[in-house]
Amino acid sequence: MSKHVLITGGAGFIGSNFVRHWCKNHPDDNGRVVVLDILGYAGNPANVADLEEQERFSLVKGDICDRSLVTELLTREKINTIIHFAAESHVDRSILGPAAFVQTNVVGTFTLLEAFRQHWEAQAKPSHYRFLHVSTDEVYGSLAADDPAFTETTPYAPNSPYSASKAGSDHLARAYFHTYGMPTLITNCSNNYGPYQFPEKLIPLMCLNILLGKPLPVYGDGQNVRDWLHVSDHCTAIETVLNQANPGDVYNIGGNNQVKNLDIVHQLCDLMGELAPAMGMELPTAPRELITFVRDRPGHDRRYAMDISKIERDLGWSPAYNFETGLRQTVEWYLQHRDWWQPLLSEEYKGYYAKLYGQR
């Protein structure tokens, strides 16, 4: 039976990588592939422009909080599967302005769940329908250096407005399974990196600042640890969960790859120092000289680490990318795609950047 998928946030970083992955892996599928994205600052039609020619694909500009639009799409496109990426995703922005995070991440997820419940019930609750909610490791809070990694049963302890709003949305997705029997799935993933990531996030921000000769702002002492996963691995994990997991299941996804921020910044400096000149781009300043320690992020989680033994054991998924190779490819991608990122450094973005980094 064909899956007719609604991919919310499919014009963002992970969503667009997932749509491309999906279309590539289902070349002869008649199923609809509908992206619903508000096309805000992080949602970029260019991220999915190469898919526009496919008849089964459509990009709809709209808000997941718009119940009538969501209901209309579910009905018109005969959607039987939602993969829900849409979110306000940047922790620093959630500190500057939390309201948008509660609206999209909590109210928006609730709106989708309600619309999908009505749609699923109207079809007499087909057993193959799925609502996969894409979430984050940040809901589990912060680990000390020698704490064991997060498992699916680690209690929630979110520390930022972003992670609190994601935790709220996770709880709603869970409740819709337990209360209504609606076939929801939840994935909690660690930090992603790869092509099409908006320049506000650590890895692209450092790459672009090196290229532009701007300071590299390292928060606090730079010893915070994140568990990095290539976005392609996240896509295969989501598809695996969608195809194999039982309704109501929760899976952690991660890279078994804990790295300190400062180590990543050093790696990026070295990669840029090697690759940019080789591609004909002279760097204005030796990259490591740009490193600047700045005031820490409020409530900054010290360490994340994911225990992924459940998805490895139950579903046979594990990460395929090697971090060194993946990071090198990512740096090359940013060097090769100035036409993609240059327009993103808009007046709005410059205003955000000045507000966040100007006072640090």
Residues annotated as part of the active site: 137-138, 162
Instruction: Report the residue number, 131 or 304, with the smaller CB distance to ligand DAU.
Output: 304
DSSP lists the bridge partners of residue 193 as: 230
Using rule CB under 6 A, residue 219 touches ligand DAU: yes
DSSP readout, 268-323?
A: HHHHHHHHHHHTT---SS-GGGGEEEEPPPTT---B--B--HHHHHHH-------H
The nearest distance, CB 176 to ligand DAU, in angstroms, is: 21
If DSSP states are collapsed to H, E and C, what string results for 308-351? Answer: CHHHHHHHCCCCCCCHHHHHHHHHHHHHHCHHHHHHHCCHHHHH
Instruction: Report the residue number, 229 or 290, with the smaller CB distance to ligand NAD.
Output: 229
Instruction: Report the residue number, 94 or 290, with the smaller CB distance to ligand NAD.
Output: 94
The nearest distance, CB 304 to ligand NAD, in angstroms, is: 10
At 232, which helix (H) or strand (E)?
helix 231-244
Using rule CB under 6 A, residue 89 touches ligand DAU: yes
Residues near ligand NAD (CB under 6 A) are 8-9, 11-15, 36-40, 42-43, 63-65, 85-89, 104, 108, 134-136, 166, 189, 191-192, 198
The nearest distance, CB 143 to ligand DAU, in angstroms, is: 12
What residue 233 binds from ligand NAD, ligand DAU, none (CB within 5 to 8 A, per partner kind)? none
Q: How many CB atoms lie within 10 A of CB 211?
A: 19
d(Cα 66, Cα 72) in Å, to the nearest integer? 10
What residue 261 binds from ligand NAD, ligand DAU, none (CB within 5 to 8 A, per partner kind)? ligand DAU
Window contacting ligand DAU (CB under 6 A); options: 3-11, 46-54, 84-92, 94-102: 84-92
d(Cα 52, Cα 191) in Å, to the nearest integer? 28
Buried b (16+ CB within 10 A) or exposed e, 57-78: bebbeebbbbeebbbebbeebe
Question: What phi and psi values does residue 177 have, to the nearest 5 degrees?
Answer: -75, -50
The nearest distance, CB 126 to ligand DAU, in angstroms, is: 31
Residue of closest CB approach to ligand DAU: 136
DSSP class of residue 12 equals S
Place of tokens 């009538």: 68
Of positions 4, 20, 84, 90, contacts ligand DAU by CB under 6 A: 90
Is-contact 252 150, C-beta < 8 A? yes
Of positions 77, 137, 170, 249, contacts ligand DAU by CB under 6 A: 137
Instruction: Report the residue number, 44 or 136, with the smaller CB distance to ligand DAU.
Output: 136
The nearest distance, CB 153 to ligand DAU, in angstroms, is: 19
The nearest distance, CB 195 to ligand NAD, in angstroms, is: 12
Using rule CB under 6 A, residue 202 touches ligand DAU: yes
Considering only residues 170 through 199, tell me which ones interact with ligand DAU, judged by CB under 6 A. Answer: 190-191
Is-contact 17 194, C-beta < 8 A? yes
d(Cα 288, Cα 158) in Å, to the nearest integer? 33
Q: How many CB atoms lie within 10 A of CB 55?
A: 8
Contact footprint for ligand DAU (CB under 6 A): 89-91, 136-138, 190-191, 201-202, 205, 217-219, 224, 226, 261, 297, 304
